Amino acid sequence: MCGIFGYIGNKEAVPFLIEGLKKLEYRGYDSAGVATLNKNKIFVSKRAGKIAALEELLQQKPISGQIGIGHTRWATHGKPSDVNSHPHEDCSGKIVVVHNGIIENYLELRRILSDNGHKFTSVTDTEVLAHLIEENLPAGKAGFNGDLLQAVAKTLNLVRGSYALAVISEHEPNKIIVARHGSPLIIGFGSNECYLSSDIPAMLKYTAEIIKLDNGEIGEVTKDQLKVFDLAGNAVSKNSELISWDPESAEKGGYSHFMLKEIHEQPNAIRKTIEGRISAESHKIHFDELNLSDEEIGKVNRIVFTACGTSWHAALVGEYLFEQFARIPSEVEYAAEFRYRHPIIDENTLVIAITQSGETADTLGAVWEAKAQGAKVIAICNVMGSSIARESHGVVYTNAGPEIGVASTKAFTTQLTVLYLLAILFGKRKGLISESESAKLIADLIEIPSKLEEALYQENEAERIAEKFHKATNALYMGRGKGFPIALEGALKLKEVSYIHAEGYPAAEMKHGPIALIDKNMPVVVLALAGRRYEKILGNIEEVKARGGIVIAVASEKDQAITEKADEVLCIPKTSEALSPILAVVPLQLLAYYIAVKRGCHVDQPRNLAKSVTVE
């Protein structure tokens, strides 16, 4: 995700901007830039690459001033490049903006502005904002106090999408205009200076007194005050709050670990995955960057998913979804196996590479192999501009925001969200799903973020159960249908953060071996999800209990039959069978997390593990 930092006071702004942007690096970015106001003139310095590259540029060509805004870019529209980096300027160079979010109607606005003579230098949605503000400044009157704020308000009334925005201008060179809708923006108050940032940690070094802008608010920041309005120009009264976090914990937004923070970020992460891809009125699904025509989709007669680890588990769910909704024969391959076994694929095979980091060496190798064999390759990826995203013919970004914890959580559930939408899209293109069926399937998905928020209420239950079982040395996870990949994922979460040996298994296979493991010391986690196989999974639970085993069940809420049979139950809200994996994994993420914490493990950086395995 992009990051914004701003400073206004009596000191040089650039050191604050660089320090603040470095605190925002964890969000992931591909370029960085700053702009300052000095003696009523604007100066901009920006480039693709890491902040170190920007610092090098500033060494060569320093800029000064006591008002400044900075930005780390997480590319959404337009590849990472110097010209696409923020800040962006209007035609006059007297207005510069930095923006975090997505302006959905930027193309139509860009067309209107171009017709009005505006010249664009980048392909970003953000640059449209700079030109629109210029367009909305009262002609000839610019420079009167309040015009800039009104011009920004007028601009924001024209845009659709999400933004956190900071604007400085030579027209009113003693302030920063800020605004927020969907992407956070915080204002901090120091002694005769103010700061603004995408998150609290970046400014906590300077102040603990902050105000968070709310959606639809716009503000004027000077070095000693903040005035807030709504977009109609009505003043809004805001109370500051005092942050009690220490700088370290604040990086985790108050959570003890990034893993727990990211588990809790999943509802909003899924909202961001869906944002801009479903038109609310017609429930149409569209992925701008998929780069697959209807004709190409029509030709696909086989799908091969390839991935590693948690992403491989997402691929297993994807296999079920594509066969269910699009009736396309699908299979799942471990990337390392796929790339070396001379796979039989051709131009009608679609290879879908799933990866959070976009840098996993084996998955990258599988993409190269698939392309060499003539297959179309699309990536489902969480990192803009990553190697696998660049190497694939098309890409669908999960937009989960950077995932810091080594154990993948929000990346997984957003991968499942993308797979669900893609499977419906393919099913519709193949004429297998009607508009009304599609609308129902999408309506079910739109409910998921709030249902996931409900699933998170099981946190205390998960912690209590973790207390009971954190000394176990083995665990068996079982599921049927789409519950099977979730059993695998739950087992992987436990083993990678708590070092307990855990195995995921198709529940139907229990009698073919694992049943020999059952005893009173080994917890058996069962995905007892509603669906065609529900009665069978009840039978599996009885088989475990009959042999003195212990059952922890994940079940739909108010499922009396399971509650009577299992020793412990973690409930999830009711949803469709196709969407149940997204909810069912949450209690297992929480269970693994709390068991690891109780075992004193390094949850965010488990031993021997890397966040991205960039070597074979």
Binding to ligand AGP by residue 311, rule CB under 6 A? yes
252 is catalytic: no
Task: Tokens for 457, please give them.
Answer: 């209420």
By beta-carbon proximity to ligand AGP, the closer residue of 66 and 386 is 386
Among 266, 408, 438, 556, binds ligand AGP (CB under 6 A): 408
Nearest-approach distance from CB 381 to ligand AGP, in angstroms: 8
> Which stretch in 319-327, 406-414, 443-451, 474-482 sits in contact with ligand AGP by CB under 6 A?
406-414
Residue showing tokens 């998921």: 448
Q: Candidates 88-96, 248-256, 400-408, 433-441 — which segment interacts with ligand AGP by CB under 6 A?
A: 400-408
37 versus 307: smaller Cβ distance to ligand AGP: 307
Q: What are phi and psi of 389, to 5 degrees?
A: -65, -40
Name the residue with the smallest CB distance to ligand AGP: 309
If binding is defined by CB under 6 A, does position 100 make contact with ligand AGP?
Answer: no
Tell me the C-alpha distance between 252 and 271, whole Å.
Answer: 20
**Rule CB under 6 A: is residue 336 a binding residue for ligand AGP?**
no
Phi, psi (deg, nearest 5) at residue 17? -65, -45
Binder among 496, 559, 568, 604 for ligand AGP (CB under 6 A): 496
DSSP 431-473: T-S-HHHHHHHHHHHHTHHHHHHHHGGGHHHHHHHHHHHTT-S
* Cβ 449 vs Cβ 268: under 8 Å: yes
Q: Which of 2, 308, 381, 601 is the catalytic position? A: 2
With CB under 6 A as the rule, give the number of residues binding ligand AGP: 15
The stretches of 326-360 forming alpha helices (DSSP H) are 335-340
Output 16 or 312, the one with its CB closest to ligand AGP.
Answer: 312
How close are the terminal C-alpha atoms of the chain, in Å? 28
Tokens matching residue 462 = 């998960």
Q: Residues with Cβ < 8 Å from 42, sequence gap 6 or more?
A: 35, 36, 89, 93, 94, 96, 168, 169, 170
Tokens of 445: 């998905």
In sequence order, the β-bridge partners of residue 378 are 352, 394
CB of 309 to ligand AGP, least distance (A): 2
Q: Which one of 89-97, 129-137, 401-409, 502-510 is the stretch in contact with ligand AGP (CB under 6 A)?
A: 401-409
The distance of closest approach from Cβ of residue 406 to ligand AGP in the complex, given in angstroms and rounded to an integer, is 5
Question: What count of residues does the chain have?
Answer: 616
Find the shortest distance in angstroms from Cβ 407 to ligand AGP: 4
- Percent helix, strand and coil across the chain, each to the nearest 5: 40, 25, 35
- Decide: is 399 part of the binding site for ligand AGP (CB under 6 A): no
Nearer to ligand AGP, 89 or 359 (CB): 359
Nearer to ligand AGP, 310 or 399 (CB): 310
Separation between Cα atoms, residue 417 and residue 274, nearest integer Å: 8
Q: Measured from the CB atom, is 148 or 259 closer to ligand AGP?
A: 259
Residue written as token pair 């083995």: 474
CB 522 within 8 A of CB 472: yes
Shortest distance (Å) from residue 364 CB to ligand AGP: 9
Contact status: 355 vs ligand AGP (CB under 6 A): yes
Catalytic residue flag (residue 601): no
Strand partners, 395: 379
Q: Pick one of 357, 399, 413, 580: the residue that binds ligand AGP (CB under 6 A).
A: 357
CB 486 within 8 A of CB 478: no
40: DSSP letter: T
Q: Using the minimum distance from each CB to ligand AGP, give the nearer residue, 313 or 470.
A: 313
Between strands 550-556 and 568-572, the pairing is: parallel
Which distant-in-sequence residues (6+ apart) come within 8 Å of 70 by Cβ? 4, 5, 6, 17, 18, 20, 21, 32, 33, 34, 35, 98
The stretch near ligand AGP (CB under 6 A) out of 16-24, 316-324, 353-361, 580-588 is 353-361
Residue 357 vs 498, nearer CB to ligand AGP? 357
Which of the ranges 146-154, 352-360, 460-468, 558-566 carries the binding residues for ligand AGP, by CB under 6 A? 352-360
Least distance (Å) between residue 269 CB and ligand AGP: 15
Angle ∠(43,45,47) on CA atoms, nearest 5: 160
**Which one of 273-281, 305-313, 507-515, 593-601 is the stretch in contact with ligand AGP (CB under 6 A)?**
305-313
Closer residue to ligand AGP (CB): 100 or 356: 356
Longest CA–CA span in the chain (Å) reads: 85
Q: How far is the CB of 503 from ligand AGP (least distance, A)?
A: 15
Separation between Cα atoms, residue 183 and residue 10, nearest integer Å: 28
- Tell me the two tokens of residue 152: 């920004």
Decide: is 66 part of the binding site for ligand AGP (CB under 6 A): no
Rounded to whole angstroms, how far apart are CA atoms 499 and 278? 40
Residues 594-613, one symbol each (x = binds ligand AGP by CB under 6 A, - = not), give ------------------xx
Of 69, 153, 210, 406, which lies in the binding site for ligand AGP, with binding defined by CB under 6 A?
406
Nearer to ligand AGP, 187 or 308 (CB): 308
φ, ψ dihedrals at 397, nearest 5°: -85, 140
Based on the shown chain and the rule CB under 6 A, indicate whether residue 308 belongs to the binding site for ligand AGP: yes
Binding of ligand AGP by 363 (CB under 6 A): yes
- Under the binding rule (CB under 6 A), the answer on residue 309 touching ligand AGP is yes
Quote the DSSP letter at residue 528. Answer: E
Binding site for ligand AGP (CB under 6 A): 308-311, 355-357, 360, 363, 406-408, 496, 612-613
Catalytic residues: 2, 611
